[in-house]
Amino acid sequence: MASFSPPPADTDGTYLTGHLLIAMPGMQDPRFDHTVVCLCAHSAEGAMGLVVNRPLPGMVFDDLLRQLEVLPLPPQRRIRMLDGGPVEAGRGFVLHSDDWSTDGSMAVVKGLAMTASVDILKAIAGGGGPKDCVLALGYAGWAPGQLEDEIQRNAWLNVPADGSLVFRDDTSDTWDAALAKLRVNPALLSGTAGHA
């Protein structure tokens, strides 16, 4: 499993690129109920991330390769496909270890990258590509200040990303495992924000 270096501290400590967002039980948006989102970019301009614990129903890697006319078919290697979020559901992103890259690759944090080009699919189908990877269709996006507001309203917890959570084979307990990294018992969480 890939290990990631902690994200570098930004100037005011508010940006969470390279962290996992863990949806709180009181999440009002059903599209994010019990999700874990890997934040690939977060700045004053907004945020973008990929849901890493929601398998994509009705689609397998071979079908995607067939649609994109990527060879070889059958592929020498297959990867998990995820529902990455509600924005641009037809657009694909491969979240992967940074031991492989191409012109279209973007570093997230040391050890983790994202690529949105067909080159990575060709490499994987041919048996190569990055050691650890998942493919997400769609993404989660936030306008400037929106994610910060949601965190303030107790919608999300966060923890630095690591390979044991991002690249799990079985995603059914990813939400619980992410909370466990924070030593949080899900049964004790409240969906209501408290203010002193």
Summarised one tens digit per residue, pLDDT across range 91-150 is 999 999 999 999 989 999 999 999 999 999 999 999 999 999 999 999 999 999 999 999
- The predicted structure's pLDDT at residue 11: 46
CATH number, domain at 111? 3.40.1740.10
The whole-angstrom separation of Cα 141 and Cα 46 is: 8
The whole-angstrom separation of Cα 1 and Cα 97 is: 9
* Model confidence band, residue 2 (pLDDT cutoffs 50, 70, 90): low
Say whether pLDDT at 195 is over 60.
Answer: no
Q: Is residue 129 part of a domain?
A: yes
Q: Is residue 177 part of a domain?
A: yes
The whole-angstrom separation of Cα 25 and Cα 121 is: 35
The whole-angstrom separation of Cα 61 and Cα 133 is: 12
> Which domain, by its residues, includes 112?
19-188
Beta-carbon contacts of 19 under 8 Å, excluding residues fewer than 6 positions away, are: 7, 38, 39, 42, 158, 159, 160, 161
Q: Is residue 116 part of a domain?
A: yes
Q: Is residue 9 part of a domain?
A: no
Q: Is residue 62 part of a domain?
A: yes
* Model confidence band, residue 186 (pLDDT cutoffs 50, 70, 90): confident
Q: Is residue 150 part of a domain?
A: yes
- The predicted structure's pLDDT at residue 14: 65
When divided into structural domains, the chain yields a total of 1
* Cis peptide preceding 74, ω within 30 of 0: yes
Q: Is residue 108 part of a domain?
A: yes
* Model confidence band, residue 4 (pLDDT cutoffs 50, 70, 90): confident
Q: Is residue 94 part of a domain?
A: yes
